[in-house]
Chain A
Amino acid sequence: MASIVEIATTTPGFSTLVAAVQAAGLVEALQGAGPFTVFAPNDDAFANLPLGTVQTLVQNPPQLARILKFHVVAGHYTQADLSQVTSLQSLEGSPIPVNGAAGEVKNATVLMADVEADNGIIHVIDRVILMG
């Protein structure tokens, strides 16, 4: 199997996410032992953000990293695990509300669940989630 980053890189439809992870300097961290649960917004999700949002974030890696860390949780949570919890602590520090029954993570919907990787698990979501 491959690491989280490798899967994201090789799967079509995640180019923005990969570019963002690289820009934020999080590649190394996400290749660590983990395990991590990553909620991965696809390219459409990023494209839905208003104009300039991504540009500003890419210009400012620490701020970008903070947003991206909000999509990562320490530990290995499968879809079945997610339906057992109502909230997870993100690496950013803020909690992510989870609605397992509806397959929703905060205000995003899980499009593809349980993509297993070496150092964790990926759930593809349809929207970039934000703290607050």
Chain B
Amino acid sequence: MMLTFLLLLPFLGAIALATWPNLAAKSARNLALISAGTALVWTIWLFTQFDLTTGSLQFREFWPWLPALGLNYELGLDGLSLMMVALNSLITWVAIWSSDPNQERPRLFYCLLLLVSAGVAGAFVAQNLLLFFLLYEIELVPLYLLIAIWGGEKKAYAATKFLLYTALSGALMLAGFLGTVWLSQAEDFTYHAGLGQSLPLLWQVGLLALLLVAFGIKIPLVPFHTWLPDTYVAASTPVAMMLGGVLAKLGTYGLLRFCLGLFPDAWVWLSPYLAGWAAVSVLYGAITAIAQKDIKRMVAYSSIGHMGYVLLGGAAMTELAMTGAVTQMVAHGLILAILFHLVGLIEAKVGTRELDVLNGLMNPVRGLPMVSALLVLGGMASAGIPGLVGFVTEFLVFQGSYATYPLQTLLGVIGTGLTAVYFVILLNRTCFGRLDNAIAYFPQVSFSEKLPAYLLAGLILYFGIQPNGLVQWSAPTAQVITAALPTIPGQLLANPPTPQPLNPNL
């Protein structure tokens, strides 16, 4: 029951929000906070119970649901899932906190937000392919509504685009799962690592391609990314935090769990191309971000670039790079959440996101000095400045992948350099310079509004200085995942520092 609570707590909160009679706006927010907060506390408790010595699944739960279909309620948690669940609980709570206290139609808003959180939490711990698919699809509806009702400019267009893309992603994924199970003649949809390994390599590659496109849309990776800037920009701040901080992780989670997990042979076979794809994504995201004139859009494009590192880490197939990929997902979630939160604050206070209009927000008296300072920190973390969590994870990825794919890694490093370029542009225009007299009567930012940013900044700093607090949880799982991979193609194994892969006997 321990994992079920992860779904149940936000779900019950959503039900309560929907049904409680005469709920005032303020109470709705508090109720949502309590519900998400309990889930967060529950997650923290899971950490204390988590067995660090094993990389396999823990807290397993099983209830038959529709055995005829092979659909069972199966949950389990390993280091990878744990990280994702923790990120989801944290970002959900922070996103609710950072929502406008005078939110329009608060009950529906928080109810949908909690439903998304419940669905995502379920997806991260689901150990049944169909169950994963269901939960993956279920969160689309509340998200679509969240964007379409509370979004900004062009919200209807953005919401529809998001729905179409992600629905296609779901369809491809379902096709991939069905194909895998039917072709491998498994008795049900229960997830087993290396499930597809028995198939001929060509079949494997074909099925893997389906899943890659499915998750590539969700992450997103170039060229499946075009829904992302529109959606992120149109979404309100809490929704953008959820989208960038958590929802995108469903894609990378799927990549590592299902693409790599189900078809290790095909993965190895495709990995040089995947690494190249990652490098293209990284560079494309960074270069496009440089060209943006809207700071929210800039942050949105930065997300594309940073998700490329996860693919790179996964493609490299070393334990180090795999750890890097998992932690990069967490780091990216924290950093993107703080950036979207701060950009949202700036938009709320200053009334614009235009890079050419914003100026001098670092002004200590009339500007938004603390918001600017935190934005500088977020930018530095995103650009991989040492001492912050972004550096740790990117460095792990690069260190781990250089041995396998030096060229692609170097391109990724260049991408990090380009990240610094657009963040310097963003920070220089937004925070520095002269505050314009005509517009500089911004409302004050209260402590409560800044609290999410403080929290996230604290974690970004803490994990930057004490990366073990992050790495230790996922390291055993990363070891298991890489160990499951077949021997890396010989010509790539020239470098001695690569950890010796074990026999693919799982």
Touching in the complex, A and B, CB below 8 A? no
A interface residues (Cβ-Cβ under 8 A, vs B): none
